[in-house]
Structure 1
Amino acid sequence: MRVVVAEDAVLLREGIQRLLADDGVETVAAVDNGDDLVTAVGEHRPDLAIVDVRMPPTFTDEGLRASLEARRLVPGLPVLVLSQYVEETYAVELLSGGAGGVGYLLKERVADVAEFLDAVRRVAAGGTAIDPEVISQLMARRRRDPLQELTPRESEVLGLMAQGLTNSAIATRLVVSHGAVEKHIGNIFAKLGLDVSDTEHRRVRAVLTYLGR
């Protein structure tokens, strides 16, 4: 089996490689960021990519986004995600991506080496390895409608965003300051779980959430 490992923490990256080598698995590339992951996958066409969710430069969800891009480059690429947290935004897209094995394990729960290696082989073979806590958290978040957590004013601001109004136009329409609008939008992003650094991208996703009610 040939594997690409993407993990920014040097000790963990080397530790994973050592575990894989001891089990007869070849690491064809070990990288520390999402861009290099995509490049390595395109170059080596591995049997599996093992990816950390949070990597440079923003340490938010680069790993998940890079995994999705790598899968577009190599359709059906098996991906095993390792994370300290459940990142819902792109996790659902990855887990529901169709062909190809997929796994999502929380780092704190990968204490059993045999269990980890079993997950590696299962995902590489086209199966799944999803941490029970990941499933539990995603189901709980799906049951909760985040739009219900918005205040009436925040809902009004989001509605105006959906109409295509700029922050300045929203401030004029509501007769409030530009700063007040920015604060409302920041609260909207937080309540909808949109923690990506790109403000414009978050704005589009917030509007899509609103329109998808």
Structure 2
Amino acid sequence: MIAEDSVLLREGLTGIFTRFGGEVVAAVGSADELLHAIAQDLPDIVVMDVRMPPAFHDEGLRAAIQLRGEHPRLGILVLSQVVEAAAAGELLEAGTRGLGYLLKDRIGAIGQFVPAVRDVTAGGTVIDPDVVHQLMVHHRAHDPLDALSPREREVLALVAEGRSNSAIAQRLYVSEAAVAKHITGVHTKLNLGPDTDDHRGVLAALTFLRSR
């Protein structure tokens, strides 16, 4: 299934897949049309644009994230002129099995594009090196741990190791009350509010590990 607002590219992709023995069950021009088509006939893979009507922002990526949640085994190959780092990171966090993200200016070589489609359909992962670079830059620029003090980082690192407040206090030669205060500060700065109280320690540890 193809989701691409450019008629020329949509027809070109249809021709490529047909030439190499594929069957295009639908070719649409918007994310809404894609979601409707998927509900009627689930394909092996969706090849889709990032920016589509109506706003031409990240509608394609948002649709891809929704599809990953509803159909985890569906192959998704995203094509884009640019890297939407925030949404792309969210898509990748949902799992990279059967996922591809390629820049359009790199798919001119059919000999490289067709194998990428086959890899993603088979459950593989194909990510453009420039996409990886942009995600790393975005991650460094938006590291949530930057808000923590050096001591709070130390405490969080020990929490991520599974240490208790008592063990952390002994390790850092401070009181347990001081450790509890630092942990509260970590929760506040990482926006882990009281509604997630039962899981805040786990969420804080995951945030630390993802930022390493």
TM superposition score category, shorter chain reference: 0.5 to 0.7
Q: 2:53 aligns to what?
A: 56
Q: 2:80 aligns to what?
A: 83
Report the AA paired with residue 67 of structure 1: A
Q: Any conservation in 2 of the 1:42–1:70 contact (CA below 8 Å)?
A: no
User: TM-score, normalization: structure 2?
Assistant: 0.66
Q: 2:39 aligns to what?
A: 42
User: TM-score, normalization: structure 1?
Assistant: 0.66
Q: Match for 1:22 among 13, 16, 19? A: 19
Q: Any conservation in 2 of the 1:38–1:67 contact (CA below 8 Å)?
A: no
CA RMSD of aligned residues (A): 2.3
Aligned residue for 1:27, secondary structure, equals coil
Q: Where do 1:107-126 residues align within 5 Å? A: 107-126=104-123
Q: Aligned pair 1:13/2:25, yes or no?
A: no
Q: 1:143 aligns to what?
A: 140
Report the AA paired with residue 115 of structure 1: Q
Could you tell me how far 1:111 is from its partner in structure 2?
1.8
Q: Following superposition, which runs of at least 4 residues in structure 1 exceed 4 angstroms of deviation?
A: none
Q: Match for 2:93 among 89, 93, 96? A: 96
**Structure 1 unaligned residues grouped into runs of 5+:** 149-207
Q: Match for 1:127 among 119, 124, 148? A: 124
Could you tell me how far 1:210 is from its partner in structure 2?
6.6
Q: Any conservation in 1 of the 2:58–2:84 contact (CA below 8 Å)?
A: yes
Q: Match for 1:211 among 161, 182, 191? A: 191
Structure-2 separation of matches of 1:144 and 1:104: 21
What is the CA deviation profile of residues 111-140 of structure 1, one whole-angstrom value per residue up to 9, with x for unaligned ones? 211100011000000001100000011111
Q: 1:130 to 1:72 in 2, by over 3 A?
A: same
Report the AA paired with residue 16 of structure 2: L
Q: Any conservation in 2 of the 1:55–1:61 contact (CA below 8 Å)?
A: yes
Q: Any conservation in 2 of the 1:103–1:129 contact (CA below 8 Å)?
A: yes
Q: Any conservation in 1 of the 2:76–2:100 contact (CA below 8 Å)?
A: yes
Structure-1 separation of matches of 2:137 and 2:104: 20
